């Protein structure tokens, strides 16, 4: 017979042939149960018995911790192919124990891990990719249909939200757009002039700068900045609303989240990106002019060289790129916000995914534009 007495709980273990009696007493709360847990488990585990009796006649209080101890004794008895009986339980304790007594607790083993073959892993990854592609295609189709409906019925558009989004997307980002454009024009002109000076060809720097900026770099860099600044903001805003169940509330009230949230952001982004691209191009030309002026060339020479090799095809080609890029960036930002899951890091993951997906889509669309312009001779 072994007896352990603690401040809040007591345990007494008595062995009689093939029977084992564990007498519990005192307060079986978190502190009391923790003080006798190891003693109870070790005594039952090391004993040989066919029947186990847990006497709870001296228990003055029991909560979930005490129930957990009884369940643990039940499992130890089952491991030894023995039976267990609970004796002298108070009525309130009996009700508490009955809530979990007949439930088998889940078991977890570190070594028991699911091992999936290569074919299964590839199949699951392919399924996830296909599901994501279907969601994106459905989102693009619905967004395009709603944009067409907005142009046909402008009275249904929330123009106050569009104006607010225009301020956030375009006006507040003009400084960074102009700054990056000026620095890129300055750097590209300087680096090109240093290389071309060896051959006396620095006069062609304005030609290169105008073509590169209007056809390629202007819409590309503007859209990347748009993805980093506005696409992530769209994902964070809608993602926070998703976690707070505000999107479900809109649906319950009969309002479409696509019409209410996505369409104003798409319209604002597509309207402002043209202005942002033109400001970027203008700032890059100013940066190139600074370099050419520092090399002794007059401003009229710079402007004449720039615009003598540019035509309306170059200008509208860049604007069409910017328009498509803005649709992709704003769309994927809103989509990632709608797809936000639960959890503390969900909004951060959606924001990161919006930026990464937006840049990838921009690069993919730019490649398609490059091939299309080549075969169309633009």
In contact, 89 and 60? CB cutoff 8 Å? no
262, containing H or E segment: none
Among 325, 333, 360, which Cα is nearest to 233's?
333
pLDDT single digits (tens) 262-302: 888 889 998 899 999 999 999 999 999 998 888 888 888 88
How much is the mean pLDDT over the chain? 85
* The residue count for the chain: 378
Say what the pLDDT of residue 66 is: 87
| Residue 219 Cα distances to 107, 317, 323, 326, angstroms | 57, 10, 8, 9
CA–CA distance, 33 with 229 (Å, rounded to integer): 55
Beta bridge partners of 12: 3, 23
Using DSSP's 3-state secondary structure scheme, residue 59 falls into strand
pLDDT single digits (tens) 227-266: 988 888 989 988 888 888 888 888 888 788 888 888 888 8
CA–CA distance, 212 with 184 (Å, rounded to integer): 11
Q: What is the dihedral of CA 252, 254, 256, 261, to 10 degrees?
A: -80
Among 269, 277, 273, 276, which Cα is nearest to 331's?
269
Choice among 5-9, 203-207, 301-305, 307-311 with the minimum mean pLDDT: 5-9
Confidence tier at 5 by pLDDT (50, 70, 90): very low
Cα 260–Cα 261–Cα 265 angle in degrees, nearest 5: 125
Distance of CA 166 to the CA centre of its chain: 25
Q: Which CATH class is domain 2-98?
A: alpha beta
Confidence tier at 359 by pLDDT (50, 70, 90): very high
Q: What is the DSSP letter of 23?
A: E
CA–CA distance, 49 with 42 (Å, rounded to integer): 14
Q: Which residue has the tokens 């909560």?
A: 63
Instruction: Outline where DSSP puts E strands in the chain.
Output: 2-5, 9-16, 19-28, 51-62, 83-87
Distance of CA 88 to the CA centre of its chain: 55
Choice among 103-117, 140-154, 190-204, 305-319 with the minimum mean pLDDT: 103-117
pLDDT single digits (tens) 154-212: 887 888 888 888 888 888 888 999 999 999 999 988 888 888 877 777 788 888 888 88
Backbone angles phi, psi at 79, to 5 degrees: -65, -30
Say what the pLDDT of residue 6 is: 46
Confidence tier at 64 by pLDDT (50, 70, 90): confident
Using DSSP's 3-state secondary structure scheme, residue 3 falls into strand
- Burial grade of 125 (CB within 10 A; 0-12, 13-18, 19 or more): exposed
- Is the per-residue pLDDT at 58 higher than 80? yes
Q: Is 268 left (phi over 0), alpha (psi -120 to 50) or beta?
A: alpha
Kindly state the average pLDDT of the residues 301-315. 84
pTM of the model: 0.66
Kindly state the average pLDDT of the residues 331-348. 85
pLDDT single digits (tens) 81-90: 778 888 888 8
Q: Is the dihedral of CA 363, 275, 138, 249 positive or negative?
A: positive
In contact, 237 and 176? CB cutoff 8 Å? no
State the pairing for strand pair 83-87/2-5: unpaired
CATH 3.30.750.24 residue ranges for the chain: 2-98
Kindly state the average pLDDT of the residues 90-107. 81
In contact, 64 and 32? CB cutoff 8 Å? no
């Amino acid at each position: 017979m072994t007896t352990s007495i603690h401040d809040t709980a007591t345990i007494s273990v008595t062995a009689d042939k093939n029977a084992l009696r564990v007498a519990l007493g005192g307060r079986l709360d978190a502190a009391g149960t923790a003080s006798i847990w190891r003693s109870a488990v070790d005594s039952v585990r090391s004993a040989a018995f066919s029947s186990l009796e847990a006497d709870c006649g001296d228990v003055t209080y029991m909560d979930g911790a005490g129930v957990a101890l009884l369940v643990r004794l039940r499992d130890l008895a089952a491991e030894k192919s023995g039976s267990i009986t609970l004796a002298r339980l108070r009525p309130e304790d009996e009700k508490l124990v009955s809530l979990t007594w007949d439930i088998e607790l889940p078991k977890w083993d570190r070594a028991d891990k699911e091992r999936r073959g290569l074919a299964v892993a590839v199949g699951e990854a392919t399924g996830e990719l296909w599901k994501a592609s279907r969601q994106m295609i459905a989102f693009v189709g619905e967004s395009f249909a709603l944009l067409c409906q907005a142009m046909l019925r402008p009275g249904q558009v929330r123009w106050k939200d569009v104006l607010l989004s225009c301020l956030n997307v375009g006006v507040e980002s003009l400084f960074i757009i102009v700054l990056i454009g000026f620095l890129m024009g300055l750097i590209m002109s300087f680096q090109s002039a240093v290389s071309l000076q060896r051959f006396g060809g620095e006069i062609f720097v304005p030609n290169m700068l105008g073509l590169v900026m209007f056809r390629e770099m202007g819409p590309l860099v503007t859209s990347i900045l748009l993805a980093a600044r506005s696409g992530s903001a769209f994902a964070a805003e809608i993602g926070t609303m998703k976690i707070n169940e505000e999107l479900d509330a809109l649906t319950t009230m009969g309002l479409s989240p696509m019409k209410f949230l996505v369409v104003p952001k798409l319209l604002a982004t597509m309207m402002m990106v043209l202005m942002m691209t033109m400001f970027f191009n203008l700032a890059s030309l100013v940066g190139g002019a600074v370099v050419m002026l520092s090399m002794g060339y007059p401003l009229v020479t710079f402007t004449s060289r720039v615009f003598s090799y540019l035509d309306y095809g170059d200008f509208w080609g860049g604007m069409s790129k910017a328009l498509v890029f803005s649709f992709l960036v704003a769309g994927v930002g809103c989509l990632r916000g709608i797809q936000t899951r639960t959890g503390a890091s969900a909004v951060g993951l959606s924001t990161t995914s919006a930026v990464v997906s937006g840049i990838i889509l921009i690069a993919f669309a730019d490649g398609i534009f490059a091939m299309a312009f080549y075969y169309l001779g633009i």
